[in-house]
């Protein structure tokens, strides 16, 4: 396959120049990045963030490389992309949509969440529950996942802006995900950003792969919960979290 030839070229180029970032100019950037991630043992599953491997301008190159690949898919589906006016340009639209929108959380670094100190005498010690709208995509079928995450923390030594909870949740969601994984990912990233040990994430979502195909269940709803620290061990904290969610659901704009 062309891929292995490309890897050899990359290796040769890297050896000659003594720099593993060089020598890929003639090769596909996608091949080069895959090579580097495999070499480093870096996982690059649909739900993984690979922004550390990308440089300025790489996304545009990757979109250019993905466009003919999507053209091949359309051709394989026997869609006349030359004469069908609605299918002209679809391959490029798909390439851009994957990189810039529905999977953007794989390629962009974590949102900047400036932390503010919460260590004065009148520090906030209560529970904070934020409702975040989510749009994601299942990695099994590439069908849309749509729902809401409720993120609860007991404030620790620092606080982040309220909109940052949703930015972090969306950054985790804009990938190919499983809802179970997504719940864990959001909990981990919120923990990193806030330093809170006591936290909970509850997601309620509908899945295109259950609605548009397969069982065609139009009202299916999937719920997942991750609880850590006192949210897990203290029934009072757990109840307060779920009571907050119920109140949010009652007052949230439908």
Q: Which residues make up the interface to Zn ion (CB under 5 A)?
A: 138, 140-141, 209
Q: Residue 96 Cβ, how far from Zn ion at the closest point, in Å?
A: 23
Q: Residue 140 Cβ, how far from Zn ion at the closest point, in Å?
A: 4
Q: Residue 168 Cβ, how far from Zn ion at the closest point, in Å?
A: 23
Q: Residue 69 Cβ, how far from Zn ion at the closest point, in Å?
A: 21
CB 136 within 8 A of CB 170: no
SS3 label, residue 12: helix
Count the neighbouring beta carbons within 10 Å of the beta carbon of residue 159.
20
Helices and strands (DSSP H and E) totals, the chain: 10, 7
Instruction: Report DSSP state, residue 109.
Output: P
Which residues neighbour 245 within 8 Å (Cβ) at sequence distance 6 or greater? 129, 150, 152, 202
* Chain length of the chain: 254
By beta-carbon proximity to Zn ion, the closer residue of 118 and 143 is 143
Q: Residue 180 Cβ, how far from Zn ion at the closest point, in Å?
A: 12
- Region of 239 please: left (phi>0), alpha (psi -120 to 50) or beta: alpha
By beta-carbon proximity to Zn ion, the closer residue of 141 and 158 is 141
Q: Residue 151 Cβ, how far from Zn ion at the closest point, in Å?
A: 24
By beta-carbon proximity to Zn ion, the closer residue of 176 and 200 is 176
Q: What is the CA radius of gyration of the chain?
A: 22
Which helix (H) or strand (E) element contains residue 102?
A: none
By beta-carbon proximity to Zn ion, the closer residue of 212 and 233 is 212
By beta-carbon proximity to Zn ion, the closer residue of 102 and 227 is 102
DSSP codes joined into one string, 73-96: HHHHTT--TTT-TTTTTHHHHHHH
Structure tokens at 220: 């299916």
CA gap 161, 175 in Å, rounded: 23
By beta-carbon proximity to Zn ion, the closer residue of 38 and 140 is 140
């Amino acid at each position: 396959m062309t891929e292995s030839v490309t890897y050899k070229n990359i290796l040769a180029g890297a050896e000659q120049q003594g720099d593993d970032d060089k020598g890929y100019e003639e090769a596909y950037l996608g091949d080069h990045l895959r090579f580097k991630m495999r070499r480093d043992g870096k996982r690059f599953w649909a739900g993984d963030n690979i922004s550390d491997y990308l440089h300025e301008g790489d996304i545009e190159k990757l979109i250019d490389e993905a466009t003919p690949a999507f053209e091949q898919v359309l051709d394989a589906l026997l869609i006349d992309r030359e004469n069908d006016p609605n299918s002209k340009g679809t391959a490029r639209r798909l390439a851009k949509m994957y990189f810039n929108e529905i999977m953007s959380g794989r390629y962009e670094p974590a949102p900047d969440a400036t932390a503010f100190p919460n260590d004065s005498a009148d520090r906030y010690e209560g529970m904070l529950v934020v409702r975040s709208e989510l749009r994601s995509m299942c990695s099994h079928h590439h069908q849309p996942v749509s729902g809401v995450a409720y993120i609860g923390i007991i404030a620790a030594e620092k606080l982040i802006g309220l909109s940052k909870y949703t930015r972090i949740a969306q950054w985790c969601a804009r990938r190919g995900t499983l809802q179970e994984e997504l719940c864990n990912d959001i909990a981990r990233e919120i923990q990193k950003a806030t330093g809170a040990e006591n936290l909970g994430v509850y997601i309620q979502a509908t899945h295109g792969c259950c609605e548009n195909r397969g069982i065609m269940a139009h009202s299916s709803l999937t719920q997942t919960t991750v609880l850590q620290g006192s949210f897990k061990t203290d029934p009072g904290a757990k109840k307060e979290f779920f009571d907050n969610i119920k109140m949010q659901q009652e007052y949230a704009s439908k």
